[in-house]
Amino acid sequence: MSLVLGGVFATVYALSTIPSFFTVEKLGRRPLFLIGASGQGISFIITMACLAAPDTPNNAKGAAVGLYLYIFFFAWSVLQLPWVYPPEISPLRTRTAAVSVSTCTNWICNFAVVMFTPLFISSTRWGAYLFFALMNFIWIPIIFLFYPETAGRRLEEIDLIFAKAHLEHKPAYRVAKEMPKLSAAEIEAEAEKIGLFEAIIDTEAGSASPGEETSSSRSGHASDAASVANKPQ
């Protein structure tokens, strides 16, 4: 029976990944995070309740259904987001390091879950599922308050969202909701308006060694020189 249940679990997992090809852009990152955390939390509650109840065939089936629901929600909502979202919200200067840290954290957490969950379940039975349910429910307000929507936006737009959130003292998710999608020219104009380019150049110039110029500052100086040269006398 365990072999059959494992096969059904793997089949549900594989089939449930198919909608993710469409939902990640159709629904967006933020709704998928919220749906995934909510669905996974409810699924773990179902499994926990069935395991905490007396051992009956129906309760055993209910626990299995809870696990199938969990993998269903995980596969089409949250599965792809750790690989998509971190590069989008990271600025160009720190993107490589930030994505490396997020990937490393992802695999360390996966390792911890695989190694310690069997011990957790054997010692607490249903307590492990309560723990995972609470972890998912705790993430819901964090996602709602701190995760801006990035679907359909250019990377430069996302930098602009965080810059405006900082300057206007607003949550980034609200800025992203209020700000329409911009063209390349509109992004450049808005960035110049709030001084985003100058802030980047000043930061990079401050981090460079004395006598050195960063590539960004050189390009900025070149742009300034070109604009001066093109001004009518």
Q: How many CA atoms lie within 13 A of 156 on its CB side?
A: 14
Note whether 79 and 137 are same-domain residues.
Answer: yes
List pLDDT tens digits, range 171-209. Answer: 999 999 999 999 989 988 988 888 876 655 555 555 544
32, 9 Cβ separation under 8 angstroms? no
Q: Is the pLDDT of residue 152 over 60?
A: yes
Domain span at residue 195?
Answer: 155-209
List pLDDT tens digits, range 17-62. Answer: 999 889 999 999 999 999 999 999 999 999 999 999 988 989 989 9
Whether residue 98 lies inside any domain: the answer is: yes
DSSP 181: P
Q: Is the pLDDT of residue 130 over 50?
A: yes
Note whether 168 and 76 are same-domain residues.
Answer: no
Note whether 55 and 159 are same-domain residues.
Answer: no
Global pTM value: 0.78
Note whether 34 and 80 are same-domain residues.
Answer: yes
What mean pLDDT is reported for the chain? 85
pLDDT of residue 192: 87
Note whether 41 and 116 are same-domain residues.
Answer: yes
Q: How far is CA 92 from CA 35, 154, 200, in A?
A: 29, 12, 10
Note whether 130 and 161 are same-domain residues.
Answer: no
Note whether 140 and 159 are same-domain residues.
Answer: no
Note whether 85 and 178 are same-domain residues.
Answer: no
CATH of the domain at 43: 1.20.1250.20
Q: Which of 186, 220, 180, 182 is nearest to 200 (CA)?
A: 220
Note whether 200 and 103 are same-domain residues.
Answer: no
List pLDDT tens digits, range 158-179. Answer: 999 999 999 999 999 999 999 9
Note whether 48 and 99 are same-domain residues.
Answer: yes
Q: Quick one: tokens of 38?
A: 């909510």
